[in-house]
Structure 1
Amino acid sequence: MSLLNLASSLYATGGLGLASLATIYGFFAISCPVAPVVIRFLGTKWVIVAACCTYCVYIAMNFYPTYYTLIPAAVLLGMSIGPFWSAQGTHLTTSAMNLADITSETHEAVISRFNGVFFLFCLACQIPGNLVSSLVLFSGTNGTSNDTDLSFCGANNCGAVPAANSSGSDTPDQTTVYILFGTLLAWCTLSIPMAAFFMNPLPSYCPVLPAKRGALEQLKTTFTLALSPRMFLLIPLNIYNGLELGFAFGDFTKVYRFTDQAYISCTQGVQTIGFVMAAYGVGGGISALFLGIISKYTGRLPIFTAGFLSQVVLMTMMLFWDPYQGQLWHLYLMAVAWAFGGVLRESQLAAFVGVLFPKDQEPAFSNLRFWQAIAYSLAFGFSIPDFMCVSYMLRALLGILCLGMGLYYLLEWRIRHEKPVYKTVAQKERRTEEIQEKQDETGETELTSM
C-alpha cells in the first residue's frame, strides 16, 4: 500500500505512475467476477499464496520501471487482487463461523470480531509506510511559507494551484529508493512461506454444496447474486466505500501530484502527509479492533449509524473548513475521523456480507470487491481533471452516502420482517427446532441481531 501511494510521485515522467495505478485498479475490477471460479478450484489458501507472489513481482519491477516492465506487472497484480480479497473474506468468514459453532456464539458476533482484528493489521500498514515516505523520501522539503496563498486549499481547490503555492519535493536519491524497494520486497517475500506453511486450507462452510462447482455455474451464481435484493441494496454503500477511500488517499492528501493540492500538502507541506496518514492508520486500526469487539453487544445497526453520522459531520466540516484559520491538529482530527467512519463500514460490511451469504461466500465477496474496485477507479479518475473541485466531490459523497444508508436501513427492515420459505413441511419443522435450540443456548438469533 505504501508503494502504491508513492507510485505516481516516483514515476511522474511520461505518466508511468498514473498508468500503472489505472492498470492495477482496472484489472482489479475485471478479476472480481471470475474470483469465485479461481477460489473454487485453488482454494482460499493457495489463492492467497499466489497473490502474494504477484505482489512481489510488481515490487521487483520497480527496480527497473518502464512501460515494458511495470505495466505487465500491474496487469498481473490487478488480476490477482480480485481473487485475493475475495479469498481473504471467504477464509476469514469460514474460520469465524467454525469457531462460532464450537463456542455457541452467534456467527455475526465472531465474524465482526475477526474482521476487527484483520483490519487492525491491515490499516496498521499505513503507519510504517507513511512514516518512511515522510522521513526518507521527502526529507528535503521545507513545508509552506508564511506568504503562501491558501485560498486554493481545502474545499476551494479546483485543480492545479499556482506554481508559487506548490510546496514541491526534492527528487529522492536513487539509492534511498532502492533501499525502500528492497525492504518492501523482503517483507513481501516473507509473506509467501508464512501463508504456504501456516495457513490451513479450509473447505466451504456449507457442507451440502459440491466441493467443485463448474466454472459456468460459478460465474452464473456470481452475476445472479448481484441482482438479489440483499446484495442489490448494498451496492450503493459498496460504491461509497470505494469513492471515500479514493478521496481519502487522493484529494485529501494529493500525494501523487504536488502541483494539485487540497488539504494536507497545501496548508502544511508535502512532508506532513506521511505523519497525518500514519494517524489515519492508528485511528483506523484501533477503531476496527474496538468495533469488532463491541458489535457482539450492540449489534450492527448502531455501529453503521454511528459511522454514517461521523462521516456526515466530517464532510460538512471539510466543506466549510477555513485554510487560513486551520491548524495542524485539525488535519490529524480529520484523518482519524475519516479512518473511524471508513473502517467501521469496511469491516462491518464485510462481516454483514458473510452473515447474509454463508452458502455463497465466494460470489458474495466477489460482488463486494467488484463495486468497491469500480468506485475506487472512478474516484481516482475524477481527481485527475483540473476542473473537478473538491467541494463538488464532497457533496457527491454526501449524496451517495445518504442513498446507501437509506437502502441499508431498508435492507435491515426487510430482514426483520421477511419470512423464510421452506420447500417441505419437514424442512420447516427441522429448521424451527434448530432455531429453538440455538435460542435456548445463546438467547440470540443469528441474522436479525441488531
Structure 2
Amino acid sequence: MTPEGTKLINVIILGCGFLLVFSAFQTGGNIEQTVIKSINSTRFHGSGYTSLAIIYSVFSASNILTPSIVAVLGARLSMVISGLVYSVYSAVFIEPFTWSFYLASVIIGIAAAVIWTAQGNCLTTNSDENTIGRNSGIFWALLQFSLLFGNLYIYLAWKGETHISDHNRRTVYIALTVISGVGSILFLLIRQPVSEVSSTEQNKPDDESDTVLGPQEQRSQAIDAIRSAICIFFTKDMLLLSITITYTGVELTFFSGVYGTCLGATNGFGNEAKSLIGLSGIFIGVGEIIGGATFGLLNKFLRKYLGIGRNPIVLLGLLCHIIAFYLIFLNVPGDSPIVSDEGTARVSYLIPSKTIAMVCSFLLGLGDSCFNTQLLSIVGYMYSEESAPAFAVFKFVQSISAAIAFGYSNYLLLKWQLLILGVVGLFGTISFILVEWKTEAHSRGFSYNRI
C-alpha cells in the first residue's frame, strides 16, 4: 500500500475508534442528568452537571501535561489507555456510588486530555497541507456517528417511560462499557505512516534503528512539549482562535448535556419527553455528520471550484445556531434545565412542539460541525510541525469553557444560557475570520508570522 493509502486507512481507523468510544461517552453524558434524577438510592447523591464540570475542569488542567505524555507513550498507546478509562466511567453507572462517580469524573478528565491531544497528533501526522481538510472531515463525520447508535437505542427503549428503572440503567451502561472497550482496542490497528518509518530509519545508524529513548531523553522531550504548548498559547493567532474555541466548549455543554435534559423535563411533550432525549441526540448526530461530510470531505472541491473557504462555513455555523437558540427560547420552558425529576408544566411562548425541538437539534449539530471542522483544519494547517502541543492548547481552552458552562448550568434559567451562547458565538466568529484572513494571505504568497 502507498504511504498516502496507509495514512488514509489510519484516519479511518482513528475515526472508527472514536466513534465507538464516544458512542458510549456522549450517549451516557446526554442521559446522565436524567438518569441520576431517577436513581432511588440513599447512598448516591451525585449531580450530572457537577460531574461534567469536574471532568472538563480536570481536562483543562491536564492539557498542560498531555503533550509530554503523548511524546513519551506515543499517540497510539496514549489513545488505547485513555479509551479504557472511558469504559471505566461508563461502568460506574452499573452500580453507582457518589465517591466512585466523582472519582471516575476526575480520572476521565485526565484521560480526555490525553486522548484528544493524541488524536490531534495522529490526525496531523497522517495529513499534509492538501489532505488536512479532507481528513478532518472524515474523522469528524465518523466521530459524529457516535451520536446516532446509542441515542437510537435510548429513543426506542425509553419511549413512554416517565421514570428510568434500575434495570434499564444497568442494561444501557453495560452495553456502553463494552462498546467503549472495543473502540479502545481498535486504536492498536493504527500503523506508523510508511514515509515516516522510512525517514526515521534512514536517519539512524543500523545499530540504533530499534533504540528506545532513555529516561533523560524522555524527560527532555516532555519538557520541550510543555514549553512548546505554552509558547503556542501566547501567540496572537491562538489567542484569537481561543475565543472561537471557547464558544465550541460552551455550545458543546449545551447540546451534549443541557438541551436533552430540558426536553426530558418538559411535561408538555407528554410521555415521550424522556425518549426525546435520545431522538434529539440522533438529530444532532445527523447534523454533525452532514456538516462533517459536506465541509470536510468536500473541502478541496469547495475551495477550488466554488471559492468557499473556511469563513463562509463558520458564518453558516453561527447562523444555524442563532436560529436554533431563538426557536429553543420560544419552544422550551425557561426553568427546564434546573427542575427536579417531576419536570415542569410551564409553557414558553409556544406550545412545546416535538418537530421544532428536533429541527433545533439538527441545527445545533450542523452548526457545531461547521465550527469544529474548520478549527481542526486551521489549527492543523498553522501548527503542522507542533501538532500535539497545539491540539493540547485547543482542548485546554475548550474544556475549561465547557467546565464553566456545566457549572452555571445547575443554576441559570434557559434564557440566560442562550444569551451567553449567542454573545460568545458572535465574538468567536469574528475572531476566527480575522485569523483566516491571515492564513489566506499566506496561501497567496504573502509572509505569515504566528506572533
Q: How big is the shift at 1:267?
A: 11
Alignment deviations for residues 74-108 of structure 1 (CA, whole Å, 9 cap, x no partner): 222111110101111110121122xxxxxxxxx1x
Alignment deviations for residues 170-219 of structure 1 (CA, whole Å, 9 cap, x no partner): 232x33332222222222222233222x11146699989x9965333321
- The question of whether the paired residues in 2 share the 8 Å contact of 1:268 and 1:328 is answered with no
Q: How big is the shift at 1:127?
A: 1.4
Distance between the aligned counterparts of 1:314 and 1:3, measured in 2? 23
> Is residue 2:245 matched to residue 1:238?
yes
> Is residue 2:365 matched to residue 1:339?
yes
- Matched with 2:153 is 132
> Is residue 2:140 matched to residue 1:119?
yes
Alignment deviations for residues 16-55 of structure 1 (CA, whole Å, 9 cap, x no partner): 5444333322211121111110111011111001111111
Distance between the aligned counterparts of 1:415 and 1:204, measured in 2? 31
Alignment deviations for residues 57-82 of structure 1 (CA, whole Å, 9 cap, x no partner): 22233333113333322222111110
- Give the aligned residue type for 1:230: D
Distance 1:140-1:331 versus aligned 2 partners, 3 A rule: closer
- The question of whether the paired residues in 2 share the 8 Å contact of 1:319 and 1:394 is answered with yes
Spell out the pairing of 1:246-395 with structure 2 (5 A cutoff).
246-254=253-261, 261=266, 269-296=273-300, 297-298=302-303, 299-320=309-330, 323-325=349-351, 327-385=353-411, 388-395=412-419
How large is the Cα RMSD of the aligned pairs? Answer: 3.1
Distance between the aligned counterparts of 2:79 and 2:48, measured in 1? 26
> Which structure has the highest helix share of the two?
2
Alignment deviations for residues 136-187 of structure 1 (CA, whole Å, 9 cap, x no partner): 2x3443xxxxxxxxxxxxxxxxxxxxxxxxxxx3232x33332222222222
Secondary structure at the counterpart of residue 148 of structure 2: helix
- The question of whether the paired residues in 2 share the 8 Å contact of 1:295 and 1:303 is answered with no
- Give the aligned residue type for 1:227: F
Spell out the pairing of 1:218-233 with structure 2 (5 A cutoff).
218-233=225-240
Distance 1:43-1:182 versus aligned 2 partners, 3 A rule: same
Distance between the aligned counterparts of 1:90 and 1:205, measured in 2? 19
Gaps of 5+ in 2: 1-25, 38-43, 204-212, 304-308, 332-347
Q: How big is the shift at 1:245?
A: 1.4
- Matched with 2:187 is 195
Secondary structure at the counterpart of residue 14 of structure 1: coil
- The question of whether the paired residues in 2 share the 8 Å contact of 1:44 and 1:201 is answered with no
- Matched with 1:96 is 127
Distance between the aligned counterparts of 1:331 and 1:323, measured in 2? 14
Q: How big is the shift at 1:374?
A: 1.0
Residue identity (%):
22
TM-score (normalizing by structure 2)? 0.76
Of structures 1 and 2, the larger Rg is shown by 1
Distance between the aligned counterparts of 2:190 and 2:352, measured in 1? 47
Gaps of 5+ in 1: 98-106, 142-168, 419-434, 436-443
TM-score (normalizing by structure 1)? 0.76
- Matched with 1:178 is 170
Distance between the aligned counterparts of 1:312 and 1:411, measured in 2? 22
- The question of whether the paired residues in 2 share the 8 Å contact of 1:250 and 1:383 is answered with no
- Give the aligned residue type for 1:79: I
The 10-residue stretch of structure 1 (306-315 or 290-299) with the greater mean CA deviation from structure 2: 306-315
- The question of whether the paired residues in 1 share the 8 Å contact of 2:95 and 2:170 is answered with no
The number of residues matched between the two structures is 378
Give the 4+ runs in structure 1 shifted more than 6 A: 203-208, 444-448
Distance between the aligned counterparts of 1:171 and 1:192, measured in 2? 29
